[in-house]
């Protein structure tokens, strides 16, 4: 079986490993796996814990292709044993990384891979590098007081969302598999003194690199400039080879290369957050240890999807009071996190002005990309500052006045034929948009007048563009998904999985492969949140506990 010129393997024993992270960076000399502060090292070698009776719940055929392995290989017992952590293949060099981070704006010191164990780096037949990482495979020196395990609930959520985000076109880590361990794990889901036992599971995650802002912060905080420089040089050489070529062949100074690297991280981060805002994704815990230097969405914990449009919504119970990581704050928090990364690499550059200019670059990049994104969501040919800035601002204000389903609204807006004879009035809105409102009783006369006024302005803007209606709809539908991993859908899949029924996981995985397409047979999954899910745990708010 082949895709293009890539031959797929029906066994995983043929995977090729090239473990540059452990080969080129300083290691922890202590080989005993106990909780401790790890100094002068980028990682500690540690092996996953064995489990008694693992069972494959689901796998991603697209993620498997990244490793050149077939679906046949994914269904083997060897696959299950390896990606639950029971067996290490030849060439694997398992370890946990050392990093620190700012959590909710406060320096938290050493954090590290407390429940993640990296298996090594695969180089596939296309010369792409992918790091394999197990989440929930046992404790590490960085686990602090935790057990390093994960539960079925959180593992299913991470698996589904990783792949859903990929198919939405959003930069993300990937998920290869989710495997039940057959063992129970105690968790206090809301930290309210009511722990209970839940089924354990392990997710295998993939990324070109799992290096985070916090990997650099820990060494800067400890004034370990030697290790900081080694890590940054390694990161540029391995994950930003185009910059490394400048370093080697153009003889540019290391300071210039470091600045170019930081500027690129700023651009990638801006692009990622714009994509979050486009689809209504809320990460929920944007600590600096959860920020990828590649601009990938990483660490799917208490995430959520904005259903009724609300800039202040956060899915994280820990964030409920301050709402630091709410939907509308994500762009500013990303810049704050970048500022912490700038502080971390400052000792290698010692140029405050240039670092500040890079942070301004983030703002400029985000604003430009956000404006273009919103124009695409509205089906505009281009973003025109004078008219479209007001048009977009007014729309977002209107959407927040009543509980309006963000995803449904933009899909419904695309259906309106502004090239035909119509009269925008109260009846028009109730005909086209009634299904997007969670509480139609909120539709006051004042609200309806504002929406009528906005739709008329939007219609005039469409006339100016003179874009054929079908072309406008195709553009809008390619930027506004019909299907997202709605919070309650994920919870329904978890409910079934906890009873041993994994069919809804498979169903959602298939559904979310085509999030922008009309799927008449799956119309039920494109409906707004049901009333029973408004305040149910897992459907509205979650904690960092897993």
Give the integer Cα–Cα distance in Å for 159 and 50: 21
Strands 55-59, 196-207: pairing kind: unpaired
Over range 459-478, report the average pLDDT: 93
Cα of 492 vs its chain's centroid, Å: 21
Please compute the mean of the pLDDT values over residues 374-400 and round it to a whole number: 96
pLDDT band at 504 (very low <50, low <70, confident <90, very high): very high
Mean pLDDT of the 501-515 span: 98
Q: What percent of the chain has pLDDT over 70?
A: 96
Distance of CA 91 to the CA centre of its chain: 29
Q: Which residue in the list 68, 224, 289, 310 is annotated as catalytic?
A: 289
Catalytic (active site) residue 289: yes
Query: Which of 100-104, 225-229, 243-247, 348-352 has the least mean pLDDT?
Result: 243-247
Strands 196-207 and 174-187: antiparallel
What is the distance between the alpha carbons of residues 41 and 63, in angstroms, rounded to a whole number? 31
Is residue 179 a contact partner of residue 80, using CB atoms and an 8 Å limit? yes
Q: Which residues pair with 304 in a beta bridge?
A: 282
Which of helix, strand or coil describes residue 436? helix
Residue 247 pLDDT grade (very low, low, confident, very high; cuts 50, 70, 90): low
Tokens found for residue 256: 């210039």
Provide the pLDDT for residue 483: 98
User: How confident is residue 420, by pLDDT bands cut at 50, 70 and 90?
Assistant: low
pLDDT at position 6:
65
Percent of the chain with pLDDT over 90: 88
- Chain CA centroid to CA 359, Å: 22
User: Nearest-CA neighbor of 410 among 428, 393, 396, 426?
Assistant: 396
Largest CA-CA distance found in the chain, in angstroms, rounded: 76
Residue pair 431/416 in contact (Cβ under 8 Å)? The answer is: no
Give the residue among 152, 154, 147, 153 at the shortest CA–CA distance from 181.
Answer: 152
**Residues 261-295: tens digit of each pLDDT:** 999 999 999 999 999 999 999 999 999 999 999 99
**pLDDT at residue 344 above 50?**
yes
For the CA atoms of 445, 448, 453, 457, what is the dihedral angle to 10 degrees?
180
**Confidence bin at 254 (pLDDT 50/70/90):** confident
Q: Tell how far CA 164 is from the center of its chain.
A: 9
pLDDT of residue 246: 65
Report CA-CA distances (Å) from 295 to 12, 268, 290.
29, 5, 11
Determine the Cα–Cα distance for residues 160 and 314; give it in Å rounded to an integer. Answer: 20
Helix (H) or strand (E) holding 198: strand 196-207
Distance CA 335, CA 358 (A): 10
- The per-residue pLDDT for range 294-343, each reduced to its tens digit, is 999 999 999 999 999 999 999 999 999 999 999 999 999 999 999 999 99
CA dist., res. 137 & res. 149, Å (int): 6
H-type helices in 378-468, by residue range?
Answer: 385-399, 406-415, 426-433, 445-465
pLDDT at 542 (0 to 100): 83
Count Cβ neighbours within 10 Å for each residue of 504-520 and write b for 16 or more, e otherwise.
bbeebbebbbebbeeee
| pLDDT of 137 over the 60 cut | yes
Q: What is the pLDDT of residues 16-73, one digit of tens each?
A: 999 999 999 999 999 999 999 999 999 999 999 999 999 999 999 999 999 999 999 9
4, HSE (Cβ side, Cα atoms, 13 Å): 6
* DSSP letter, residue 297: B
- pLDDT average, residue stretch 172-193: 90
With both helix axes pointing from N to C terminus, report the angle between 487-497 and 503-511 in degrees, rounded to the nearest 10.
150
Q: Which of 33, 131, 114 is nearest to 545 (CA)?
A: 114
Angle between helices 225-239 and 241-249 (to 10 degrees): 110
* pLDDT confidence bin for 3, thresholds 50/70/90: very low
Cα separation values, 272 from 64, 166, 292, 362, Å: 24, 12, 10, 11
All structural domains of the chain with their residue ranges: 2-214, 380-466
Lowest mean pLDDT among 189-193, 211-215, 305-309: 189-193
Q: What is the mean pLDDT of residues 155-162?
A: 98
- Please, which pLDDT band fits residue 249 given cuts at 50, 70 and 90? very low
Contact (CB, 8 A) for 491 and 538: yes
Q: What contacts 367, CB < 8 A, 6 or more positions away? A: none
| pLDDT greater than 80 at residue 422 | no
């Amino acid at each position: 079986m082949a895709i293009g010129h890539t031959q797929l393997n029906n066994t995983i024993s043929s995977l090729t490993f090239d473990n540059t992270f452990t080969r080129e960076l300083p290691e922890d000399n202590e080989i005993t796996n106990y909780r401790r502060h790890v100094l002068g090292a980028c990682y500690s070698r540690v092996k996953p814990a064995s489990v008694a009776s693992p069972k494959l719940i689901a796998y991603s055929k697209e993620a498997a292709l990244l490793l050149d392995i077939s679906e046949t290989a994914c269904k083997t017992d060897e696959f299950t044993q390896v990606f639950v952590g029971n067996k290490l293949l030849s060439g694997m060099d398992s370890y946990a990384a050392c990093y620190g981070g700012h959590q909710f704006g406060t320096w938290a010191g050493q954090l590290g891979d407390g429940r993640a164990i990296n298996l090594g780096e695969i180089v596939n037949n296309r010369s792409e590098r992918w790091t394999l990482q197990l989440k929930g495979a046992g404790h590490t020196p960085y686990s602090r007081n935790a057990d390093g395990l994960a539960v079925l609930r959180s593992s299913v959520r991470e698996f589904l969302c990783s792949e859903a985000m990929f198919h939405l076109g959003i930069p993300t880590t990937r998920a290869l598999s989710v495997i039940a361990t057959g063992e129970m794990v105690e968790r206090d889901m809301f930290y309210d003194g009511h722990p209970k036992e839940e089924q354990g599971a392990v997710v295998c995650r993939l990324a070109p690199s799992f290096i985070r802002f916090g990997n650099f912060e820990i060494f800067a905080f400890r004034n370990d400039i030697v290790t900081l420089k080694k890590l940054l040089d390694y990161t540029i050489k391995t994950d930003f080879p185009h910059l490394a070529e400048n370093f080697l062949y153009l003889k540019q100074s290391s300071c210039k290369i470091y600045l170019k690297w930081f500027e690129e991280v700023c651009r990638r981060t801006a692009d990622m957050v714009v994509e979050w805002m486009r689809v209504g994704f809320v990460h929920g815990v944007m600590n600096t240890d959860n920020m990828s230097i590649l601009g990938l969405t990483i660490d799917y914990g208490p995430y959520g999807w904005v259903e009724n449009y609300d800039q202040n919504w956060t899915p994280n119970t820990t964030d409920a009071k301050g709402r630091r990581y709410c939907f509308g704050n994500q762009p500013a928090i990303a810049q704050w996190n970048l500022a912490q990364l700038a502080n971390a690499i400052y000792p290698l550059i010692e140029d405050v002005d240039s670092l500040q200019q890079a942070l301004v670059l983030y703002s400029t990049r985000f604003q430009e990309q956000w404006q273009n994104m919103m124009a695409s969501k509205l089906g505009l040919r281009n973003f025109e500052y004078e008219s479209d800035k007001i048009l977009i601002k007014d729309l977002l204000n209107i959407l927040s006045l009543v509980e309006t389903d963000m995803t449904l609204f933009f899909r419904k807006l695309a259906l309106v034929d502004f090239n035909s004879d119509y009269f925008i009035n109260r009846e028009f809105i109730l005909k086209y948009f009634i299904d997007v409102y969670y509480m139609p009783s909120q539709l006051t006369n004042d609200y309806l007048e504002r929406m009528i006024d906005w739709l008329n302005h939007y219609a005039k803007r469409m006339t100016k563009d003179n874009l054929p209606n079908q072309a406008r709809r195709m553009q809008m539908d390619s930027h506004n998904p019909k299907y997202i991993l709605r919070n309650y859908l994920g919870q329904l899949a978890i409910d079934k999985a906890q009873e041993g029924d994994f069919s809804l996981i498979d169903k959602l995985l298939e559904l979310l492969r085509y999030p922008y397409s009309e799927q008449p047979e799956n119309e039920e999954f494109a409906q707004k949140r049901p009333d029973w899910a408004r305040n149910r745990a897992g459907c509205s708010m979650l904690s960092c506990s897993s």
